[in-house]
Amino acid sequence: MPTVLILGAGSDIAVALARRYAAAGFTLQLAGRNPEQLRPLEQDLRIRHRIAVTVHAFDALDFTSHAGFYRALPAPPDVVLCVFGYLGSQEKGQQDWQEASRILHTNFTGAVSILNIVAEDMAARGKGTIIGISSVAGDRGRMSNYLYGSAKAGFTAYLSGLRNRLWHSGAHVMTVEPGFVATQMTGHLALPALLTAQPGEVADDIFKAAEKKKNVLYTKWFWRYIMMIIKNIPEPIFKKKKL
Amino acid sequence: MRKNISNWGNYPVLNCEEVSFSMEEQLTQYVNTHDHVIARGNGRCYGDASLGEHSVSTLRFDKVLAFDEENGVFECQSGLTLDQILDIIVPRGWFLPVTPGTKFITIGGAVASDVHGKNHHSEGSFSNHIVSMKVLTAKGLTECSPETEPDLFWATCGGMGLTGIITTVRFTLKKIETAYIRQKQIKARNLDEVLQLFEEHKHYTYSMAWIDCLQKGDSFGRSILIVGEHATKDQVAAKAAKAPLELPRKMKLTVPFNLPGFVLNNFTVKLFNALYYAKNTKRVIENTVPYEPFFYPLDAILHWNRGYGKDGFVQYQFVLPMDKKDGLVAILQKISEKGWGSFLAVLKTFGKQDDLISFPMEGYTLALDFPVRNGLFPFLDELDALVLQYGGRLYLTKDARMQERVFWDSYPNAERFREIVKTWNPAGKFRSAQSDRLNFQFA
Ligand SMILES: Cc1cc2nc3c(=O)[nH]c(=O)nc-3n(C[C@H](O)[C@H](O)[C@H](O)COP(=O)(O)OP(=O)(O)OC[C@H]3O[C@@H](n4cnc5c(N)ncnc54)[C@H](O)[C@@H]3O)c2cc1C
Ligand SMILES: NC(=O)c1ccc[n+]([C@@H]2O[C@H](COP(=O)([O-])OP(=O)(O)OC[C@H]3O[C@@H](n4cnc5c(N)ncnc54)[C@H](OP(=O)(O)O)[C@@H]3O)[C@@H](O)[C@H]2O)c1
């Protein structure tokens, strides 16, 4: 059975993804900052789906540990899901470099650091799939979250370049751009119900799109069109809005 | 996030701060820093029991922790719902020890209401099958069972979340050979006959009756008794016997928005009449059916509660001691005269149960719906007076309106319950709109 590595396995979207891949029979490698917190999920997946699961310590911000982490995995993964992220506080980040750098380094630098290592391995093996969870927030900077948005924009550009590179060696890269998803990250926000996806729907979309080797997935699907409109608002108008 | 929430009866609607968690540490952190906290499972209680200032949703705390397939022992986090558990255990030859009439409730809710099923007379309520559980009380996370911290254990079973938040539950399952039920439906011309039939069929594991609340005279209390047993392999049809533990998947119907009240009643009238006047005039029908329609006839229509319209409804469920048949008659008569209740009610006999604060006791229980309307609550107060007079009580998980005194006078161990709750929840950290309404003094 193929193996999937989930980076940031404790998040709601990651839990839904783990269940989706487990239901399809994949072997799972769950990685997160606090492995003890992943034990219940590990048991859950084993019991529900009768599959093999391992748990690994991984911190996106501890760049120097990434190579060792990847080498120590019990098997090289066929699919790598890069799910971790940090929304943080835009307002705080404007004044406090600690917060700003945490947003940038979690969503961008940390992802680049680990995926560089994965990419080398997949390029050498000539196969594999990398799935990066970016965000529609990266499609255009807005005053309410441009620190997070710019880090995701960087991540989206990185994934695009990586896709280009790895195509030539037989591996695939998929960019995922979720719109609103009802998770812990957004629990305190009043999201419009019609535009908001449940983690399970997002996981389903991702799984199916990855099977079809899609390049860029918007989920829910209509976000592609919402973002098309948002990207096309002329800057002189856009800058005057409070978005 | 603050929002307006209500439970299954859509009454009352309260503005609560709703939060959720997926890891124990997040829960502990939240509980340590907040007061007026109450656990909320899947909101299938009818009234205000899981509403409060801070409503903590357990739905994302839904991991299976252990499943001993040899001995049928299951352990999970409290937000896991029964329908998910069934999906895991039935294909492996196990079933829930007790299940209410809907599978869309959480394990936490099953414990906190100490739910009963059609097998109460033979196998007791849910608490009867718990091995142990963990509760996050005001004193911290505490493991309890009938042997360790028994006070906490018994005050948590049926305790409506007032001892704290149940985090994990370990309980035993029941072995099955097939996913089917061998059922028998028997028509009863009136109340006397159906009570007689209950008695005659008490050796059946499962039993309950649908009772027509509108009939008067000779047909007063006409009903259909439904009894059943888990089918063995040789009792299912040849086709099903190939994969006896699997069920065909079905589409679900949803009631998309609030409908005016009469629609649902029309639906149940038709359903009942179809059964009662079934083409075959046989008094007894025996057949083998998948477990879903047997246990969860209403789950096939998601959100049927919206069928009562936007003002919502309350479900009135009481129990009377076995020797108070005259009380049952009196209450049923009052209900049928008024004509405000749903056309159908569920009637069932309970077996012996004598614990701290759970609803069941040996006797008859009746449950029916009342759409909220002017004058309803005074009328239900009159029914309460009868229930009290005959030594009965109301089911807290269905309650949205009972007056303080009714609770304290009808539950014989209410004071003792309060004493125990006070030791685990001394400052009323855990409290609900219901406990406030019943004037539960924690201090
Ligand atoms: C169609 C239908 C049929 C039903 N049939 C039956 C039946 O046959 N028999 C029966 O007994 N009941 C029946 N019920 C009632 C239902 O089983 C109970 O109300 C059950 O408690 C609902 O569980 P829930 O997960 O939805 O919890 P909620 O409704 O959200 O909460 C119910 C109570 O449990 C508490 N609670 C929930 N989770 C926790 C936790 N983790 N820790 C501490 N406290 C918690 C809440 O505070 C609240 O007091 C029925 C309900 C419906 C809608
Ligand atoms: N929710 C949305 O509306 C939405 C929309 C668009 C995109 N996304 C993206 O979707 C992904 C998942 O989001 P979510 O909503 O499910 O978020 P979430 O529940 O807030 O989870 C974020 C996850 O990232 C992990 N994480 C944070 N910093 C980390 C670090 N330094 N090292 C390792 N892991 C770290 C967290 O791990 P811990 O468990 O250890 O804290 C947590 O599991 C994120 O990339 C997010 O940006 C979400």
Q: What is the pLDDT of residues B11-60, one digit of tens each?
A: 999 999 999 999 999 999 999 999 999 999 999 999 999 999 999 999 99
Is the separation of the CB atoms in A61 and A36 below 8 Å? no
Query: What is the tens place of the pLDDT at every residue in B371-388?
Result: 999 999 999 999 999 999
Query: What is the tens place of the pLDDT at every residue in B112-141?
Result: 999 999 999 999 999 999 999 999 999 999
In chain B, residues 49-108 whose CB comes closer than 8 Å to chain A: 60, 63-67, 77, 88
The larger pLDDT score, comparing residue B241 to residue B211, is at B211
- pLDDT of res. B20: 93
Model pTM score: 0.94
**From the alpha carbon of B159, which atom of ligand 1 is closest?**
49
Lowest mean pLDDT among A164-178, B237-251, B256-270: B256-270
The larger pLDDT score, comparing residue B266 to residue B301, is at B301
- pLDDT band with cut points at 50, 70 and 90 for residue B237: confident
Domain count of chain A?
A: 1
Whole-number Å distance between alpha carbons of A180 and A157: 21
Euclidean distance between the first and final Cα of chain A, in Å?
46
Distance A99 CA to ligand 2 centre (A): 15
**Distances in Å between the alpha carbon of B318 and those of B336, B364, B402?**
16, 8, 12
The ipTM is 0.91
Percentage of chain A with pLDDT > 70? 100
**From the alpha carbon of B434, which atom of ligand 1 is closest?**
49
- pLDDT of res. B254: 60
Please report residues of A whose CB lies closer than 8 A to that of B22.
10, 12, 15, 184
Mean pLDDT computed over A126-154: 97
Query: What is the tens place of the pLDDT at every residue in A55-109?
Result: 999 999 999 999 999 999 999 999 999 999 999 999 999 999 999 999 999 999 9
**From the alpha carbon of A13, which atom of ligand 2 is closest?**
16
Please indicate whether, in this complex, the C-beta atoms of B1 and A190 are within 8 angstroms of each other: yes
Task: Assess whether the C-beta atom of A79 lies below 6 angstroms from ligand 2.
Answer: no
Whole-number Å distance between alpha carbons of B140 and B257: 42
Q: Domains of chain B, with CATH numbers?
A: 64-176 (3.30.465.10), 180-403 (3.30.70.2520)
Whole-number Å distance between alpha carbons of B220 and B207: 20
Query: What is the tens place of the pLDDT at every residue in B311-329?
Result: 999 999 999 999 999 999 9
Please indicate whether, in this complex, the C-beta atoms of A184 and B67 are within 8 angstroms of each other: no
The larger pLDDT score, comparing residue B15 to residue B442, is at B15
- What DSSP character marks residue B397? G
Whole-number Å distance between alpha carbons of B310 and B11: 9
pLDDT higher than 70, residue B171: yes
Is the separation of the CB atoms in B133 and B335 below 8 Å? no
Please, what's the largest Cα pairwise distance for chain A? 56
* Cross-strand bridge partners of residue B4: B15
Lowest mean pLDDT among B199-203, B257-261, B351-355, B412-416: B257-261
Please indicate whether, in this complex, the C-beta atoms of A10 and B67 are within 8 angstroms of each other: no
Locate B193 and state its tokens. 């006959």
**From the alpha carbon of B396, which atom of ligand 1 is closest?**
49
pLDDT higher than 70, residue A163: yes
Residues 6+ apart with CB under 8 A from B297: B101
Nearest to B66 among A43, A184, A189 (CB): A43
Chain mean pLDDT for chain B: 92
Query: What is the tens place of the pLDDT at every residue in B424-436?
Result: 999 999 999 999 9
* φ and ψ of A119, to 5 deg: -60, -40
pLDDT higher than 60, residue B439: yes
- pLDDT band with cut points at 50, 70 and 90 for residue B273: confident
Chain A CB within 8 Å of residue B288 CB? no
Chain B CB within 8 Å of residue A193 CB? no
**Distances in Å between the alpha carbon of A55 and those of A42, A62, A207, B371?**
7, 18, 21, 51
- pLDDT band with cut points at 50, 70 and 90 for residue B279: low
Secondary element (H or E) of residue B406: helix B404-410
Cβ neighbours around A211 below 10 Å, total: 10
Locate B278 and state its tokens. 């079934």
Nearest to A187 among B1, B64, B77 (CB): B1
Percentage of chain A with pLDDT > 90? 93
Provide the domain limits for residue A7: 3-238
Question: A10 CA to chain B: closest CA distance, Å?
Answer: 9
Please report residues of B whose CB lies closer than 8 A to that of A199.
none
Minimal-distance CA residue to ligand 2 atom 42: A11
Mutate one of B3, B17, B64, B173 to test the A interface: name it (highest A CB count within 10 A): B64
Nearest to B88 among A15, A48, A187 (CB): A48
Mean pLDDT computed over B354-371: 96
Instruction: Find the CATH number of the domain harbouring A100.
Output: 3.40.50.720
Mean pLDDT computed over A12-35: 97
* Cross-strand bridge partners of residue B151: none
Mutate one of B63, B75, B81, B94 to test the A interface: name it (highest A CB count within 10 A): B63
Residue type, B362: E
Please report residues of A whose CB lies closer than 8 A to that of B60.
12, 184
- pLDDT of res. B262: 55
Task: Assess whether the C-beta atom of A183 lies below 6 angstroms from ligand 2.
Answer: yes
Please report residues of A whose CB lies closer than 8 A to that of B65.
40, 43-44
Chain B CB within 8 Å of residue A190 CB? yes
Task: Assess whether the C-beta atom of A219 lies below 6 angstroms from ligand 2.
Answer: no
Whole-number Å distance between alpha carbons of A125 and A70: 15
- What DSSP character marks residue B430? B
Whole-number Å distance between alpha carbons of A7 and A81: 6
A21 is an active site residue = no
Asked if residue A220 belongs to a domain, the reply is yes
Please report residues of A whose CB lies closer than 8 A to that of B25.
37
Is the separation of the CB atoms in B359 and B158 below 8 Å? yes
For residues B18, B43, A199 and A14, what is the CA-based torsion angle, rounded to 10 degrees? 80
Whole-number Å distance between alpha carbons of A220 and A202: 7
- pLDDT band with cut points at 50, 70 and 90 for residue B238: confident
Residue type, A140: R
DSSP B273-338: HHHHT-SS--SEEEEEEEHHHHH-TTTTEETGGGGG-TT-EEEEEEEEETT-HHHHHHHHHHHHHH
Asked if residue A182 belongs to a domain, the reply is yes
Question: B64 CA to chain A: closest CA distance, Å?
Answer: 4
Secondary element (H or E) of residue B76: strand B73-77
Task: Assess whether the C-beta atom of A197 lies below 6 angstroms from ligand 2.
Answer: no
Distance A106 CA to ligand 2 centre (A): 9
Residue of A nearest to B92 (CA): A48
pLDDT higher than 80, residue B196: yes
- pLDDT band with cut points at 50, 70 and 90 for residue A38: very high
Locate B390 and state its tokens. 């005959």
The larger pLDDT score, comparing residue B293 to residue B41, is at B41
pLDDT higher than 90, residue B86: yes
Please report residues of A whose CB lies closer than 8 A to that of B66.
43, 47
Asked if residue A243 belongs to a domain, the reply is no
Percentage of chain B with pLDDT > 70? 94
Minimal-distance CA residue to ligand 1 atom 20: B109
**Distances in Å between the alpha carbon of A94 and those of A53, A85, A89, A107, A152?**
41, 19, 9, 17, 17
Task: Assess whether the C-beta atom of A175 lies below 6 angstroms from ligand 2.
Answer: no
Secondary element (H or E) of residue B188: strand B180-188
Mean pLDDT computed over B283-288: 89
- Residues lining ligand 1, Cβ inside 6 A: B 7-8, 38-45, 49-50, 58, 78, 100-102, 105-106, 108-109, 112-113, 115-117, 160-161, 165-166, 298, 397, 432
Distance B46 CA to ligand 1 centre (A): 8
Distance A84 CA to ligand 2 centre (A): 4
Please indicate whether, in this complex, the C-beta atoms of B88 and A43 are within 8 angstroms of each other: no
- pLDDT of res. B443: 79
Side-chain-facing half-sphere of B75: CA atoms under 13 Å: 13
Whole-number Å distance between alpha carbons of B139 and A233: 56
Locate A186 and state its tokens. 């957004």
Q: Is B402 helix (H, G, I), strand (E, B) or coil?
A: coil
Nearest to B20 among A187, A189, A190 (CB): A187
**Distances in Å between the alpha carbon of B249 and those of A214, B69, B239?**
30, 24, 16
Minimal-distance CA residue to ligand 1 atom 46: B50
**Chain length of chain B:** 443
Whole-number Å distance between alpha carbons of B353 and B332: 24
- Dihedral sign, CA of A153, A157, A158, A162? positive
Distance A148 CA to ligand 2 centre (A): 12
Please indicate whether, in this complex, the C-beta atoms of B77 and A40 are within 8 angstroms of each other: yes
Nearest to B113 by CA among B438, B434, B436: B434
Annotated catalytic residue within A148, A158, A218, A225: A148
DSSP chain A: --EEEEETTTSHHHHHHHHHHHHTT-EEEEEES-GGGGHHHHHHHHHHH---EEEEE--TT-GGGHHHHHHTSSS--SEEEE-------HHHHHH-HHHHHHHHIIIIIHHHHHHHHHHHHHHHHT--EEEEE--GGGTS--TTTHHHHHHHHHHHHHHHHHHHHHHTTT-EEEEEEE-EE-SGGGTTS---GGGEEPHHHHHHHHHHHHHTT-SEEEESTTHHHHHHHHHHS-HHHHTTS--
